Structure 1
Amino acid sequence: MYPFNVRVYGLLINDHNEVLISDEQEYGMRFTKFPGGGLEPGEGLIDGLKREFLEECNAIVEVISHFYTTDFYVKSAFNDSQVISVYYSVKNLEELNLNFKTLVFDFDGEGEVLQAFRWVKLANLANEDFLFPTDQHVAKLLTGSIWI
């Protein structure tokens, strides 16, 4: 039984008003989300977010502020758990060294688990770009935010 699944995500916005998003393939599914992932046992939210950015993006980030926490029921797409997602605004402390893509699901190589990163202008961000309901909700909040 999986009662709760706590996830933590970072909203990294560059000087061009673009937000970093992640296209991924895992568990036989393709999805687009914000960088981040699952909290590990004994880990705090901010430490988990910093670990996720280091693992996924090889980037050291500073957490600026809390942006949003899930306030509606979300069932996991992967098991029977309830997903609780926490989003923070972050900034990178060094230049990002990633192979940024411009096309959706433009993965390098093949395999079961794939990931690619894109910058998307906040003005062009649409909740339909995301598979998961909480990411869709956050996209709506971002497009109505002060960053545009």
Structure 2
Amino acid sequence: MIQTRHGSCHCGAVRFSCDIDLAPEGERSPQIRPGPWYASTLRCNCSFCRKTRMWKNHIPSEAFRLLQGAENLSHYHFGEGSIDHTFCRTCGVYAFVSASEPVMGGDFYCVNIACLDDVSDEEFAAAPIRYEDGANDEWGKAPRITRHM
């Protein structure tokens, strides 16, 4: 079910809250937006996610609130530059990204669910995971090997 969760970087300078559904399949709320991006957590093998070990969950922009630390964020853009990768300037933790894609319903955030502070180990273990083969631009397909992701 959709719940308000709170997250932060490692040092606590950046804090946010978001309305997110980490429940396993069969227990999830109706999606706020349609599309596979909002139906599960995701692990990707693109060069960036692979190096940062990002475990992401897409949420609509209206479900994300930056509570503190905007001035402490560092921004990184690469490729087409459409995704705003943000990092805490103090501890370097990569807590979320923001972007806008019409196919995905407009503005959204990808929250690094590992940065959520009020999620139990049991909830993390039960969260559904969909794998993306970003390394080969096959975003709708899982890579042949996912065990390392």
TM-score range, shorter chain: under 0.3
Give the TM-score normalised by the residue count of structure 2. 0.26
Give the TM-score normalised by the residue count of structure 1. 0.26
